[in-house]
Structure 1
Amino acid sequence: MSIRPISSLEVTKNISLLSSEKKNTKVVNLKLATPEDKPLVVMLSWLMARKKHVYKYADVYLRHGFDVLNISISPWQLLWPTKGSQMVAKDVLKFLEVNSAYPALVLHGFSVGAYLWSEVMVHMAAEQQRYAGVLDRIVGQIWDSAADVTEIPKGLPVAVFPTNAVLQNALKQYVIYHMRTFDKVATVHYIRASQMFQTNLVRAPAQIFISKTDPIGTEESNLRVRETWENMGIQVNWKCWDKSPHVGHFRMHPKEYVAALNSFLDSLDLPQSVQIEEKKKHMAKL
């Protein structure tokens, strides 16, 4: 499936707004000068994600009539959360709060994106009454290869040095040292975020994509999340492949992935604009 042209509006160095049409609007203190009334996907990317790969996922949503808020963090921001990932999380939350014209929000997080969203929820939990409106607008959540804090020493080196085993091992040893040495400014925040992901302030239906062979977003850790969420009353749809790499499920199984994603989106309480876009898509096929 070819990707149509995608317009990108930079909100911050870590946040960009993707759309099928060019945004002729200014961004002042994270607020769009021209409000939008279409649904928004909050896409929390994996480490070192390339634009062309992110755009393949974004294209699926743009065809449904969504805008896509793409968020990324660097390895440095992950290692030093108080000056890095937590600052990005604050910006994400502020964007969602001040751009309330987006009537419905769908989360789609990959790998370390689950951790970043957990940092967003840490801020939400501190002021639940203030951010109740943001939570109420979240109608669905998708988690692809969600990685637990315990897998940071595995995931970070592979993301930074995907083809160099020697440098992977060296960085792995450093990350282990880093987490032991900088407990108060790093590890305690990872643990708190992991607990927040488990308890999950978002009660909207969830779709989980994983594989049995993923060493980073493991089946075991995701099963624990699934069990906890279902016990809390969250509807969880589960798609587990026997074999596919970390954040590589869409690439390995494109038809199954898109079919499961479309089925999940069809089950959500989305605005009429998305339903109209879907009808156009079906008519075009005919």
Structure 2
Amino acid sequence: ARVSEAGERRLVLFFAWLTARPRHIHKYARLFTALGLDMLVVRIFPLDAMHPSSGTQVVAEQVCNFLRRRQQYEKYLVFGCSAGAYLFCEVALQVHAEPTLKTAVFDKVVGQIYDSPVDLRGVSVGIAHSITSNSFLQRVIKNYVDWFLKARYDAVTRHYEAAAQQMYRCPVRAPCLYLFSDNDPMSPEDVNETISDLWRSTGLSSRGRKFHHQTTGHCLNYHVYPQQYKDEVYKFFVEVGFVEQAVVDEALKA
């Protein structure tokens, strides 16, 4: 990885969405590596999301183990897509319980980006869409997951609520960029704006970028608007001091 002009090594903590395929992740990887950044990819699958204590939280602990061993980075940036935002909140819950790790990592996070984060109210829709594209089966699965969340409150839902509260309180004190669309039932526009407003009320820098979509879809902003998306992300990188403007200019010429 290329170091910054100040000799700093920088790491993007990338939390992918449930249905992300290798080609999708590679597209994001090129976005970051073009700037000389290192990238840690973290993801979960539908069964992990439905069984937090034996799924998502185990993955979160693996992330914490990585961060304990790899503390050579001077700057970090969090990038969570869809359910990846929930996964990062599970990581944040564990990091906040360990002051030395919080100091070593979270105090060095200079920014956070969330693309179409799924709120607790969108969990059942998100899981259904991650399993099948058949609309009838999606409705069946959504109804089952809604029932499951009520029946398994102690084992499952309370963990979602704890993660949601972590998001509302802001998982890490760093400037934030929200990327969302005006036609996404899994990540409603009003939810993104509400959370961003909450963060701003605490004195945190938080802004949103809304993308217009003709049809309903989830986490499609980069796919539909590749150049605008890249420009927005790179602009934020420069704003928070994660990357120098000259490096961005060089990457955009390539």
Identity %: 29
**What's the Cα RMSD here?**
2.0
Residue among 203, 209, 216 paired with 1:233: 203
Q: Are 2:143 and 1:188 aligned?
A: no
Q: Could you tell me whether the CA contact under 8 Å between 1:97 and 1:131 is conserved in 2?
A: no
Residue among 89, 110, 128 paired with 2:60: 89
Q: Are 2:42 and 1:105 aligned?
A: no
Counterpart amino acid of 1:115? Y
Residue among 185, 199, 203 paired with 2:173: 203
Structure 1 residues 173 and 84, CA gap change in structure 2 (3 angstroms): same
Which residue of the partner structure matches residue 119 of structure 1?
90
Deviation of 1:278 after TM superposition, in Å, equals 3.6
Deviation of 1:200 after TM superposition, in Å, equals 1.5
Counterpart amino acid of 1:111? S
Q: Could you tell me whether the CA contact under 8 Å between 1:144 and 1:247 is conserved in 2?
A: yes
Q: Are 2:240 and 1:268 aligned?
A: yes
SS in 2 for 1:102: coil
Counterpart amino acid of 2:21? R
Deviation of 1:203 after TM superposition, in Å, equals 1.4
Counterpart amino acid of 1:133? A
Q: Distance in 2 between matches of 1:93 and 1:146?
A: 21
Greater helix share, 1 or 2?
2
Query: After superposition, where does 1:1-286 map in structure 2 within 5 Å?
Result: 38-162=9-133, 164-243=134-213, 245-270=217-242, 277-278=247-248, 280-281=250-251
Counterpart amino acid of 1:191? E
Structure 1 residues 262 and 279, CA gap change in structure 2 (3 angstroms): closer
Q: Distance in 2 between matches of 1:40 and 1:228?
A: 27
SS in 1 for 2:99: coil
Deviation of 1:280 after TM superposition, in Å, equals 4.1
Q: Distance in 2 between matches of 1:72 and 1:62?
A: 19
Deviation of 1:173 after TM superposition, in Å, equals 1.6
Deviation of 1:37 after TM superposition, in Å, equals 5.9
Q: Could you tell me whether the CA contact under 8 Å between 2:234 and 2:248 is conserved in 1?
A: no
- Per-residue CA deviation, residues 9-34 of structure 1 (Å, 9 max, x unaligned), is xxxxxxxxxx79xxxxxxxxxxxxxx
- Per-residue CA deviation, residues 151-196 of structure 1 (Å, 9 max, x unaligned), is 111111111102x112212211211121011111100000010000
* Unpaired stretches in structure 1, ≥5 consecutive residues: 1-18, 21-35
Deviation of 1:141 after TM superposition, in Å, equals 0.5
Deviation of 1:275 after TM superposition, in Å, equals 6.0
Deviation of 1:97 after TM superposition, in Å, equals 2.5
Structure 1 residues 55 and 240, CA gap change in structure 2 (3 angstroms): same
Which stretch of structure 1 is more off in the superposition, 62-71 or 168-177?
168-177
SS in 2 for 1:193: helix
Q: Could you tell me whether the CA contact under 8 Å between 1:210 and 1:241 is conserved in 2?
A: yes
Counterpart amino acid of 1:156? I
Q: Distance in 2 between matches of 1:133 and 1:69?
A: 17
SS in 2 for 1:270: coil
Q: Distance in 1 between matches of 2:62 and 2:246?
A: 31
Q: Distance in 2 between matches of 1:85 and 1:40?
A: 22
Q: Distance in 2 between matches of 1:213 and 1:158?
A: 15
Structure 1 residues 213 and 171, CA gap change in structure 2 (3 angstroms): same
Q: Distance in 2 between matches of 1:74 and 1:201?
A: 22
